[in-house]
Structure 1
């Protein structure tokens, strides 16, 4: 399988600056499962979701196509990390109560991934996929500058897959018995340096740098600095989640 690796080159930054998902999201997912024996966190990245799932499931298998990303994941006695692509997990058939994919399913070869799900999920097992887009900044001037950076500066450097995120996976083929998931969001209070560190992890930022040989965040920082207060700024990422049950 072809693995679209856009994040290995800055795996350390990814682990440091990506926001964390709310604990309530994982508690709700666990409540929907008839059993909580084994869960697969697919495209785990730095293991953020995998560690949270370990609070609710006996065993977590966390895979990613990037060995560099997995090297940044924290060790946990209930989490087993493996280098594997989504479409060929190597997991035993009919062994999973839940499969989760956080901010990554848009990179997959979807038909092959769904075939793998049908192989590894137990009857009545669940699939949960979720994504988030550009953060909402509480400061209007800063929010406008960020939207310009996202939609104009980087416009030519977002891949087509990003459009699936922008629509909250609404256009994604989802052949499962769908559940109504609660609305969740992530919130942080960040300094300008932390926001820039996060924006550096964007795949489009990395492609801009590769194409032009300059970091566009330097210009963004120059324009944001006069508007940045002395303290931290609140930013919010609404999460869109789709959850479906596997029924033969």
Structure 2
């Protein structure tokens, strides 16, 4: 039986605790694809899940997020610097980044302005990636109950931008030389508390709470707890990774002026 507590009362610290970790292979891929491994920039970094992973493959990583609460709870790591800043005004010099990533965050950006900032801070040939993970997958009856909650019960509380995440940013403009992304997924083994803690970080859950939908959330937690069994039992949770992957084009040198040889 689920402990009678409010699983959905979350702040930046809980966000850092419960958000799923990206696979090591994702950061390794960016390092291999980038023109150099000097500096990577993680935009909308949240609490630094991807930022710290990139630091294992790049000499320096800068994580930026507009939320001071998220940055206050960001994971420290060697070679990582964090800054409270918007995607549309990045605190970096021109032409310094070999990779620019935005994980589970690009749907909040003013994309044309962000793209202009990417071109400004990126070195020629830099990798640019908009990353999202799809709707989580649970097996059996747990999966069916979760899907009903996600689609019908909490669905109306998602902001319109959530559709961009669910379809992997497929419908947005992406003005870079696009490349096929690797096939990757996030796979976690979670107990009941970890699963419900993660659900509690959703913006839709926070919106539902603001609108007095505590009973709806509690009913879902009770149903999931009954299906889960032992709260300490581990269940496999999977998120497919989606990505729009591109490269900042290398500018071709201007044609040299033709100089006439000889004299008339």
| Off by >3 Å, runs of 4+ in structure 1 | none
Instruction: Map Cα deviations across residues 163-189 of structure 1 (whole Å, 9 max, x no partner).
Output: 011111110111111111111111111
Q: CA deviation at 1:144?
A: 1.0
1:77 aligns with 2:78: yes
Q: CA deviation at 1:90?
A: 1.8
CA distance in 1, matches of 2:205, 2:163: 16
Question: What residue number does 1:3 align with?
Answer: none
Distance in 2 separating the partners of 1:180 and 1:173: 16
The C-alpha deviation readout for 1:135-181, integer Å capped at 9, x for no partner, is 1002x111111111111111221111000111111101111111111
Aligned match of 2:106? 105
Q: Contact (CA 8 Å) 1:30, 1:56: kept in 2 or not?
A: yes
Q: What TM-score comes out, normalization by structure 2 length? A: 0.87
Could you tell me which runs of 5 or more consecutive residues in structure 2 were left unpaired when the two chains were aligned.
1-9, 252-264
Note the aligned Cα RMSD (angstroms): 1.2
Aligned partners of 1:164, 1:211: CA distance in 2, in Å?
A: 24
Partner of 2:20: 19
Distance across 2 between alignment mates of 1:82 and 1:171:
30
Q: CA deviation at 1:193?
A: 1.5
Does the residue aligned with 2:186 lie in a helix, a strand or coil? strand
Structure 1 residue runs of 5 or longer lacking an equivalent are 1-8
Deviations 1:112-149 (A, max 9, x none): 101111111111111011101221002x1111111111
TM-score, normalization: structure 1?
0.93
Alpha-carbon distance in 2 for matches of 1:126, 1:226: 45
Partner of 2:239: 237
Which secondary structure does the structure 1 equivalent of 2:113 belong to?
helix
Report the Cα offset of residue 92 of structure 1: 0.1
| Secondary structure at 1:137 match in 2 | coil
Give per-residue Cα distances to partners, 1:205-227, cap 9 Å, x unaligned. 00000011526331112112222
CA distance in 2 between counterparts of 1:215 and 1:130 reads 33
Deviations 1:50-86 (A, max 9, x none): 1111111111111110111011112223011111000
Determine which structure has more spread, i.e. the larger CA radius of gyration. Answer: 2
Indicate the residue corresponding to 1:163 in structure 2: 163
Aligned residues: 239
Q: Alignment partner of 2:245: what SS?
A: strand
Using a 3 Å threshold, how does the CA distance of structure 1 residues 22 and 215 change in structure 2: closer, same or farther? Answer: farther
Distance in 2 between residues matched to 1:22 and 1:236, nearest whole Å: 12
Aligned to 1:152: 152
CA contact (8 A) 1:200 1:217 kept: no
